[in-house]
Amino acid sequence: MSDVAEEQVVLAFAKAWNRLEPDGFLALLAPGARYTSQWVFEELVGAAAISDYLRRKMHTVRARGVNDPDSRVRVEIGRTSHGEDGRPCFDDARSER
């Protein structure tokens, strides 16, 4: 991976979740990337571990959506207002009815 703008990575992550297709985001990962989420008990280290997790997670979410059309994931892009003002970020707006 060459120098990739933070905004490009945030956009790729949002697209991956909105489409449940992680390949575009995964292609941007550095070999030593780290992934932390409230949905993950321990930090994932390395592109292979992150790829495995996101592929399995998105597959599960997609499979569940087939059986429950009211269950969906929507990730929206925003800008930080604290700390380093204006940095791109995303909001995981998972909703279930």
Helix 6-19 × helix 47-67 angle, to 10°: 30
* pLDDT tens track for 35-63: 998 888 999 999 999 999 999 999 988 88
pLDDT at 82: 73
Say if residue 64's pLDDT is above 50: yes
Q: How far is CA 42 from the centre of its chain?
A: 16
Task: Domain 6-92: give its CATH architecture.
Answer: Roll (3.10)
pLDDT at 75: 83
Lowest mean pLDDT among 56-60, 74-78, 83-87: 83-87
The domain segmentation of the chain, as residue ranges, is 6-92
Which residues in 79-88 are b (16+ Cβ under 10 Å) and which e? eeeeeeeeeb
Report the distance separating Cα 71 and Cα 97, nearest Å.
7
